[in-house]
Amino acid sequence: MADLPPDTGGLREIDGRGLSAIPGLIDCHTHPCFGGDRVNEFSLRAAGASYERLHAAGGGILSTVRATRAAGEEELIQTTMRHRAWMRAHGTTTFEGKSGYGLDRDTELAQLRAVRSAGGIPTWLGAHTVPPEFTDADAYLDFLLADVLEEAAGLAEAADVFLERGSFDARQARRYLEACRDAGLALRLHGDQFTESGAISLAIDLGARSVDHLEATGSAGVAQLAASDVTGVLLPASSLFLARPMPPARELADAGALIALATDFNPGSAFCDSLPLVLSLACTQMKLAPEEALVAATANAAHVLGRADRIGRLQPGFAADIVLLDALDWRHVAYHLAGDVVHTVIEGGAVVFRRTA
Ligand code: NIG
Ligand code: FE
């Protein structure tokens, strides 16, 4: 305190007695811009329907595509801002947001603009799945690369693809990602969610920033990722929501892989906006230490977003993005399962959320 310049009247003091401070949480993988919801599908899954089979039958992602196309751009902006407010209340001060529910030119671009207007970092997920008006994935990619890529590259920071049976195979994913890289975008992949289909090899080969999901990754994939500088982004809320295996976080960390944690917030596979819940899952289900989990959702997530020099640490020269927790020991952020632990959220030095009562 003695080293601070004198207060000339402009300083706002925040009483932090009884609280602890962590860096603002960074959600580096979300799908926050969509129309409608999937609550009916949620009931069907509760009755035993499988996520992959619903998708294959034209539901799942494609039902959100129909609702997103029907919403206007203004509604998409309002919805994304609403979701941003939910995330903030859980301590998220930076979020990435993907397109991927338009799958036509206008709606994909509208989604990217909506994410940006809501304060997010846009990623172009044009290659999420093949929309019904195309009979095959290559014809759809022809369209994306000829008619959407140039404008998408002006709006997004990164490109992403769903490399999985029922969406795109490794050859198609490579084709899309190489074109996106040539247009100046950083690269991300949804990979190894249900099957190991070559996502890790492709990510390494193309110098992608991350490969995300990894629920199906076996020991060879763990070793391969650990020997690379590609970050594995783990999404345990999606495993929980779909009753699927957790990704091999402990094995990855022990092998020396770079890992980040994110919510994967979306209406189908993870309707979850809470990074504190993800940190709880990381510690209880994947056996990460609270310290490892916190770094994975702050500094490492900042690295995935190309911002490791600016956000994710409480350190001089970094943005004043700070979460005050209602506990003297910061580990309560993970320990208090779905608890109301976030007291105050400060973004760029300004209070943007304060818990009431
Ligand atoms: O990360 N797996 C592909 N995409 C999203 C889910 C999209 C959806 O179900 O709407 C995910 O899980
Ligand atoms: Fe995702």
Asked if pLDDT for residue 1 goes beyond 80, the answer is: no
pLDDT at 152: 98
Higher pLDDT, 166 or 11: 166
pLDDT at 65: 98
Name every residue whose Cβ is closer than 8 Å to that of residue 350 and which is 6 or more positions away in sequence. Answer: none
pLDDT at 9: 84
Gap from CA of 190 to ligand 2 centroid (Å): 6
**Is the CB of 61 inside a 6 Å radius of any atom of ligand 1?**
yes
213 closest CA partner among 164, 255, 178, 165: 164
Name every residue whose Cβ is closer than 8 Å to that of residue 238 and which is 6 or more positions away in sequence. Answer: 193, 213, 215, 244, 264, 269, 270
Q: Percent of the chain having pLDDT more than 90?
A: 94
| CA-based max dimension of the chain | 69
Which ligand number lies closest to the CA of residue 216? 1
12-16, 171-175, 322-326: the lowest-pLDDT one = 12-16
What is the mean pLDDT of the segment spanning 336-357? 95
Instruction: List, for residues 37-73, the tens digit of each pLDDT value.
Output: 999 999 999 999 999 999 998 899 999 999 999 999 9
Gap from CA of 253 to ligand 1 centroid (Å): 25
- Distance (Å, rounded) from C-alpha 49 to C-alpha 10? 58
Instruction: List, for residues 86-103, the tens digit of each pLDDT value.
Output: 999 999 999 999 999 999
What b-and-e string marks burial along 197-231, b requiring 16 or more CB atoms within 10 Å of the CB? bbbbbbbbebebbbbbbbbbbeeebbbbbbebebb
Instruction: Supply φ then ψ for residue 269, to 5 degrees.
Output: -105, -10
Give the position, in ligand 1's atom list, of the atom nearest the Cα of 125. 4
Cα-Cα-Cα-Cα torsion 14, 20, 24, 29, nearest 10 degrees, comes to -150
Give the position, in ligand 1's atom list, of the atom nearest the Cα of 213. 1
Mean pLDDT (the chain) is: 97
pLDDT at 10: 80
**Is the CB of 162 inside a 6 Å radius of any atom of ligand 1?**
yes
**Is the CB of 60 inside a 6 Å radius of any atom of ligand 1?**
yes
Give residue 13's pLDDT band: very low, low, confident or very high (50, 70, 90). confident
Give residue 316's pLDDT band: very low, low, confident or very high (50, 70, 90). very high
Nearest CA to ligand 1 atom 3: 162
C-beta of residue 101 within 8 angstroms of C-beta of residue 68 = yes
Give residue 156's pLDDT band: very low, low, confident or very high (50, 70, 90). very high
Nearest CA to ligand 1 atom 12: 269
Give the position, in ligand 1's atom list, of the atom nearest the Cα of 238. 12
Nearest CA to ligand 1 atom 8: 268
pLDDT at 3: 85
- Distance (Å, rounded) from C-alpha 245 to C-alpha 248? 9
Tracing tokens 């994304």 back to the chain, one arrives at 80
Gap from CA of 270 to ligand 1 centroid (Å): 8
pLDDT at 2: 82
pLDDT at 174: 98
Instruction: List, for residues 167-224, the tens digit of each pLDDT value.
Output: 999 999 999 999 999 999 999 999 999 999 999 999 999 999 999 999 999 999 999 9
Nearest CA to ligand 1 atom 5: 269
pLDDT at 73: 97
Asked if pLDDT for residue 310 goes beyond 90, the answer is: yes
pLDDT at 12: 82
**Is the CB of 190 inside a 6 Å radius of any atom of ligand 1?**
yes
Instruction: List, for residues 263-304, the tens digit of each pLDDT value.
Output: 999 999 999 999 999 999 999 999 999 999 999 999 999 999
Q: What pTM did the predictor assign?
A: 0.97
